[in-house]
Structure 1
Amino acid sequence: MSVATWSLILQRAVQTYLLRQANRQAEAALWDAADWSAAEQALAGSTAPMAHITREGLAALRHHQQHAERSLGKACDLDEFVTRAIRKALAQENARQESGMTILASVGSTAPFIGLFGTVWGIYHALVNIGAAGQVSIATVAGPIGEALIATAAGLAAAIPAVLAYNTFTRTQRVMSQQLDHFAHDLHAQLLTQPESAHGVR
């Protein structure tokens, strides 16, 4: 369990670092683009959450412009339609960032009890050995108690890193979620004030 926990922690740390780097590059590419078409080309193939939100916002803008004269335009104005698309993409990215967090929380909360179970099991074997030998000695007690301590240490070795990593990743995820939320507001305002015909994104 400890090896799996450390593997998940390292994987999550690398993933978080790459996402933050990709977000910086995507944001810079978006605001430096000459127009929305250039921005879309610059963000093509990017796995950054900001790139995904931008693509969904642009797709919603174009879809509404193409169908504005039909029932869609009458039922929902441009502001609400773009807001829905951006909010949906934002929710998808927040959900993607939460992947693996449940496992860390589960390991952090259950590993100590698994170690405690090993302790109880070791003490049980010690008592069985004492009963079979008919007398108390270091030889009959030391082995099972040693196994119990190893199980306890293994449980703590898995739980402590999992809890620390969970708290760290939760804070990082909260910060990134706030950044995405601010970016989504800026993108929404930019899409409504400078639609497809604008010459520059900024």
Structure 2
Amino acid sequence: MESGLNFVDLILKASLLVQLVMLTLVGMSIASWAIIFQRKSIISKAMNHTKKFEQKFWSGMELSKLYNEISARTGSPEGLEALFVSGFKEFARQKKSSNQSTGLVIEGTHRSMRVALSREVEKLESSLSFLATVGSISPYIGLFGTVWGIMNAFIALGEVQQATLQMVAPGIAEALIATAIGLFAAIPAVMAYNRFAKNVEKLESHYINFMEEFANILHRQAANSVEAK
């Protein structure tokens, strides 16, 4: 026995407002998936770069040589490289500019790395707020379309003498599709946001730990240079 209800027909026969709601939700879903693939690529790349740079940094390579190697590349450094370049550049500048105390040199270096850290985390978190917004409001937008569609279905039902389930079913079904599309847009967005937020938090923790360890290394170098004098 074939059903008299067709998904495409229900969408086409829905009221204009419900169709606009569905179109809005579909657009939000498409934008969400585009951001999901983009963020997945960027965050995965950042995690891989973090591992590779940490291996090179802790391999015993001279800091000045590592700095020159990164600076010679085209394009701006990213992730841990950005923190390293920012910190080492400020450290060298502070040491050359004046005979400041070790504490002041490290404080300026630390401040420079904190600025770089903020920029890198901001890059990683870009567009995540959109996923959070889609995940939180899509069900409500879909519910609005459903309520509006059911209301119109019952208004039309009240205008006939004899009401049957067959008469009201299509109107309710086409209204419920709006809620289904809302959930279809919201669920992937929420799942992706939670995963990406967790990965960004891990990366930020790596960045902070590296920043503190690097600052300690520079502090020992500055202290040794002062003692040598």
Cross-structure match for 1:54: 84
Aligned with 1:159 (options 159, 177, 186):
186
**1:165-189 superposed Cα distances (whole Å, 9 cap, x missing partner):** 1111121111111111111111111
**1:125-162 superposed Cα distances (whole Å, 9 cap, x missing partner):** 20232133343234431222111111010001111111
Distance 2:117 2:89 in 1: 14
List 4+ stretches of structure 1 deviating above 6 A.
Answer: none
User: Residue 107 in 1 paired to residue 134 in 2?
Assistant: yes
Task: Answer with 35-44 or 114-123: which moved more.
Answer: 35-44
Q: Is the 8 A contact 1:107 1:159 kept in 2?
A: yes
User: Residue 16 in 1 paired to residue 21 in 2?
Assistant: no
Distance 1:83 1:59 in 2: 11
**TM-score, structure 1 normalization:** 0.86
Cross-structure match for 1:65: 95
- Structure 2 unaligned regions, length at least 5: 1-27
Question: In angstroms, what is the RMSD of aligned CA positions?
Answer: 2.2
**1:75-116 superposed Cα distances (whole Å, 9 cap, x missing partner):** x71121111111111122222221111111111110010110
Distance 1:194 1:90 in 2: 22
- Structure 1 unaligned regions, length at least 5: none
Cross-structure match for 2:108: 81
After superposition, the Cα gap between the structure-2 partners of 1:78 and 1:47, relative to the gap in structure 1 and judged at 3 Å, is closer
Q: Is the 8 A contact 2:121 2:204 kept in 1?
A: yes
SS state at 1:32 partner: coil
Alignment size in residue pairs: 193
Following TM superposition, by how much is the alpha carbon of 1:31 offset from its aligned partner in structure 2, in angstroms? 3.0
- 1:162-181 equivalent positions in 2, closer than 5 A: 162-181=189-208
Following TM superposition, by how much is the alpha carbon of 1:33 offset from its aligned partner in structure 2, in angstroms? 5.9
Aligned with 1:126 (options 125, 136, 153):
153
State the one-letter code of the partner of 2:178.
A
SS state at 2:163 partner: coil
State the one-letter code of the partner of 1:20.
M
Cross-structure match for 2:175: 148
User: Residue 38 in 1 paired to residue 65 in 2?
Assistant: yes
SS state at 1:132 partner: coil
Cross-structure match for 1:137: 164
Distance 1:143 1:184 in 2: 61
**TM-score, structure 2 normalization:** 0.76
Q: Is the 8 A contact 1:26 1:43 kept in 2?
A: no
Aligned with 1:27 (options 42, 45, 54):
54
Distance 1:24 1:64 in 2: 29
Cross-structure match for 1:182: 209
State the one-letter code of the partner of 2:114.
R
Following TM superposition, by how much is the alpha carbon of 1:35 offset from its aligned partner in structure 2, in angstroms? 1.9
Q: Is the 8 A contact 2:142 2:180 kept in 1?
A: yes
Q: Is the 8 A contact 2:42 2:124 kept in 1?
A: no
